Amino acid sequence: MTRSVTPRRKTLNTALAWVIGLLIFFPILWTILTSFKTEAQAIASPPLFLNFNWTLENYAIVQERSDYMRFLWNSVIIAGGSTILGVIIAVPAAWAMAFVPSKRTKDILLWMLSTKMLPAVGVLYPIYLVFIRLGLLDTRGGLVVVLMLINLPIIVWMLYTYFREIPGEILEAARMDGASLKEEILYVLTPMAIPGIASTVLLNFILAWNEAFWTLNLTAVDAAPLTAFIASYSSPEGLFFAKLSAASTMAIAPILILGWFSQKQLVRGLTFGAVK
C-alpha cells in the first residue's frame, strides 16, 4: 500500500531540500566569488557578495606563479590510477564475499571497515620510512598504491552491496553453460553491476582527488597534486584570500564539472537495488 503525499508536504520537502542544498553549496559559491575580488575586497567588512569590481587578476597571478597543468595531471593520474587499481582488486574480492558462502564474510567486512577508523597519522611514520627505503617518496606510483589501499575497504563494501542484489541463479546458469570463473566475472557479473561499479568509481575518484593528508606528506615537487597546489598559497606572511580562492576554484573546478555531468549515474548507482 503506497502512502499518499499531499501537495503541501511535497512543497515543504522541496523547499527544505533546496535550503539544505544551498547551505551545502554556499562555501563553494563564496570561494568562487572571492576568487574574482581584490585582496582588499576579499577581507572587506561587511563582506561583499555581488557588488564588487570583478577581476581576473588572481587567476593570472596564480597561473604565472604555479604550473597548474602539472598539478592537474598529477591529480588525474593519482586519483584515476588508484581508483582503477582498487576496482580491479575489489571486484574479485566482492564477488567471493557475495557468492561464496562463508560465516566469516560479515566479520571480514567489518574488519576492513574498521581500518578506516584508524587515524591516518598513526601509520604515517612507518609508511614514510617504507617509501624512503623503496624510493617511492614523491612519486605518483607510490601515491597510487597508498590511496588505493586507503579507499579499498569502501570499494569492496560498495561492490559487495551491489553484487548481493544480483541473483545467484544467473551466475549458476553461466557456470552450467561452461563459463570459467574469469568469464563469469567479466562477461556476466560485471555488465549486470555496471551502475554500481560506475558509482563506486566516481565516488572513489572524488575521494582520491580530495585526499590531502597523504599527498601533502608523501610528495614534495614531482608528484604533487592539486591539494599541494592549494596548500602552497598559505605562506608565513599570511593568507591571501583572493589568490587562495582562485587556486581553490581551479582545483575543484574539474571535479565539480565531473560531478555535474555524472550526477544521474551517481544517483542511479547509489540507489541500485534499493527498490525491487
Q: What pTM, to 2 d.p., does this model score?
A: 0.84
Instruction: Write out pLDDT tens, residues 6-33.
Output: 888 888 989 999 999 899 889 999 999 9
How many separate domains does the chain show?
1
Please give the Cα distance from 150 to 133 (Å, whole number). 20
Residue at 9 is within a domain: no
More confident position, 208 or 5: 208
Question: What whole-number distance in Å separates Cα of residue 188 and Cα of residue 179?
Answer: 9
Q: What is the 3-state secondary structure (H, E, C) of the chain?
A: CCCCCCHHHHHHHHHHHHHHHHHHHHHHHHHHHHCCCCHHHHCCCCCCCCCCCCCCHHHHHHHHHCCHHHHHHHHHHHHHHHHHHHHHHHHHHHHHHHHCCCCCHHHHHHHHHHHHHCCHHHHHHHHHHHHHHHCCCCCHHHHHHHHHHHHHHHHHHHHHHHHHCCCHHHHHHHHHCCCCHHHHHHHHHHHHCHHHHHHHHHHHHHHHHHCCHHHHHCCCCCCCCHHHHHHCCEECCEECHHHHHHHHHHHHHHHHHHHHHCHHHHHHHHCCCCCC
pLDDT tens digit sequence for 130-177 = 999 998 999 999 999 999 999 999 899 889 988 888 888 888 888 888
Residue 145 inside a domain? The answer is: yes
User: Which residues, 6 or more positions from 252, have their beta carbon under 8 angstroms from its beta carbon?
Assistant: 28, 31
The answer to whether residue 122 sits within a structural domain is: yes
pLDDT, tens digit (0-9, with 9 covering 90-100), for 24-67: 889 999 999 999 998 888 888 888 888 888 889 889 888 888 88
Buried b (16+ CB within 10 A) or exposed e, 239-257: ebbbbbbbbbbbbbeebee
CATH code of residue 173: 1.10.3720.10
Determine, yes or no, domain membership for 197: yes
Q: Is residue 33 part of a domain?
A: no
Domain that holds residue 200: 66-232
The answer to whether residue 167 is domain-embedded is: yes
Residue 177 near residue 248 (C-beta atoms within 8 A): no
Residue 276 maps to a domain: no
Within a domain: 181: yes
Position 275 scores a pLDDT of 45
- Tell me the per-residue pLDDT of 168-194, one tens digit each, with 9 for 90 and over: 888 888 888 888 888 888 888 888 888
User: Cell numbers of 65, please?
Assistant: 606563479
